[in-house]
Amino acid sequence: MHPRRRLPGRSRRLASGLAATATVALFLLAGCTPAPPPPDSGGGGADAALRVHLEQQLAWGGCEDTATNAADAELFANPALECASVEVPLDYDEPEGERAHIALLRLPATGEAEGSLLVNPGGPGGSGTNLVAMTLPLWQASPVAERFDIVGFDPRGIGASTPALDCYTDDEYDAGAALRFGVVYDITSAEQAAELAERCAEGSGGIANLVNAGSTNVVRDMDILREVLGDDQLTYLGYSYGSQLGAMYAATYPEKVRAIVLDGAIAPDLTAQEFRVSQFTGLQARFDDLAAFCAESPDCVLGTDPTAANDRLHEIVRPLIETPSTADGREVSVWDVYLGITGGLYSQARWPDVVAALTALEAGRADEMLALRDTFYGRTADGAYPLDLDTNIAVRCMDWPRLTPEETTALARKVGEVAPMFDLDVFTAANYHSECAAWPAPPTADDPWLADVEDLPETLVVSVTGDPATPHEGGIAMARALGARLLTVDGKQHGAYLLGGSECVDDVVEAYLLDLESPPADARCNL
């Protein structure tokens, strides 16, 4: 294995701190399915109309035009980083028609570049340009960056990529006026669903922009990125929903795969509803762990009996249903509180922050819980939301089979059963409609979203045993479906490579990325 350059006394602390912020895009996941294999997008069989996209030359330069908020502007100003934009068809059925633009940010290899490592942080809605810039010190300490350009990309609709997809403004998210998510979205009528679809189409510049955001198009974009970056085969790292994109790419373009790492891999063998239930089951398990951790202190805000922690949590948050709190001039609702708790459950390192925020909330102070909520959403100090929640909705509505009102309501009730921490009437007792019920185009998905794939190059799945958002069973199923090698990581966190501060994990992943050295079948690490 290649030796790692370390930042003495800093790398593990930095990784722990970034784990909470670099994975905020990973909770609102969507099931999706690859479409029938698209036409060959490289070589002699390529569509003539697509060739203009494949042959474009990248103009790498400064990143000032790629940053979409003040926080990114500060990150992207680092002279080690370069940015560019790639044109892709808005609609692959009309490759000579309107174009979308995919934003790229790269850390050039410090040695002779052998290719590019394409990185996606998940979501849908996460920005790859932001992830690479935010984790820059970790990449600079990694041997991968000696031999590969590290390239983050913003999938269509996200970050600096265009067209932008907008249903609500940042101010509306701040004010609690945007669509709210508890266990399902708080849509209780067909009229509300129609209003959502209408405002999303209007805010996104038209229906065509809105309905071409699905994962199948993102995967085709990835193949154009591979070609334009000059790589015969794809080397890729995808976290969470990014693992779904990687698996779809492998299934669609198996001959174009060099190395694919799927970290926080999702379950390809579950229906969208089953997967959602598995996520909330994982969150409840981590809340149970947090309650046991808290109970070690005699003044635990959740009490000293972990089995009663759900009821105790309800006592703390129930008053906010009728009378939201305030902090920093903003309203803090019960919806915000549960988003804050959820974000804190993503990493064991954040459990003390959740306990502290609940303690302050019971005492009438909501500022710490609001900070957790803002971290979960990736909100910056200037009020921007880099996690693109509207694109998340658009992607899911194109990827996810539509649920009837009866199915959506049953899903809410089921989540209340498997995750009693959420079992409040405001989350589970209404009659719900799918947020996608009035979407202006039908979905392109079936359940489950991926069948077993044969004759793939060996890929690598990284799965944490106590992952709260993509349970370990899903990682096992992903490895089985792809015939991939599985790295099991003991810990309680979402995402492991670079973000977990584990030399064991980093060394295994880097040996695979650099030299295609797969770990033993029973490989195991700890966070």
- The residue behind tokens 């996810």 is 400
Helix (H, G, I), strand (E, B) or coil at 276: helix
How far apart are the C-alpha atoms of 196 and 202, rounded to whole Å? 10
Helix (H, G, I), strand (E, B) or coil at 188: coil
- 89 phi/psi in degrees, rounded to 5: -65, 135
How far apart are the C-alpha atoms of 227 and 224, rounded to whole Å? 5
In what helix (H) or strand (E) does residue 332 lie, and over which residues does it extend?
Answer: strand 330-332
DSSP code at position 214: S
Give 263's strand partners: 239, 462
**Do the beta carbons of residue 144 and residue 510 sit within 8 Å?**
yes
Active site residue 467: yes
How far apart are the C-alpha atoms of 312 and 184, rounded to whole Å? 23
DSSP code at position 447: S
How far apart are the C-alpha atoms of 219 and 246, rounded to whole Å? 8
Q: Which of 388, 390, 494, 506 is catalytic?
A: 494
How far apart are the C-alpha atoms of 183 and 187, rounded to whole Å? 11
Name all contacts of 71-75 with Cβ < 8 Å and 24+ positions apart.
Answer: 71/380, 71/381, 71/382, 71/384, 71/386, 72/129, 72/130, 72/133, 72/159, 72/380, 72/386, 75/130, 75/133, 75/134, 75/136
Active site residue 494: yes
Contacts of residue 139, defined as CB under 8 A and 6 or more positions apart, other chains included, come to 107, 132, 145, 150, 498
**Do the beta carbons of residue 277 and residue 483 sit within 8 Å?**
no
Active site residue 240: yes
Q: Which of 142, 240, 278, 325 is catalytic?
A: 240
Contacts of residue 114, defined as CB under 8 A and 6 or more positions apart, other chains included, come to 147, 148
**Do the beta carbons of residue 403 and residue 433 sit within 8 Å?**
no
Q: Which of 467, 472, 502, 506 is catalytic?
A: 467
Smallest Cα–Cα separation from 108: which of 153, 62, 149, 63?
149
DSSP code at position 63: S
- Dihedral of CA atoms 126, 127, 133, 136 in degrees, nearest 10, equals 40
Which residues have a catalytic role annotated?
240, 467, 494
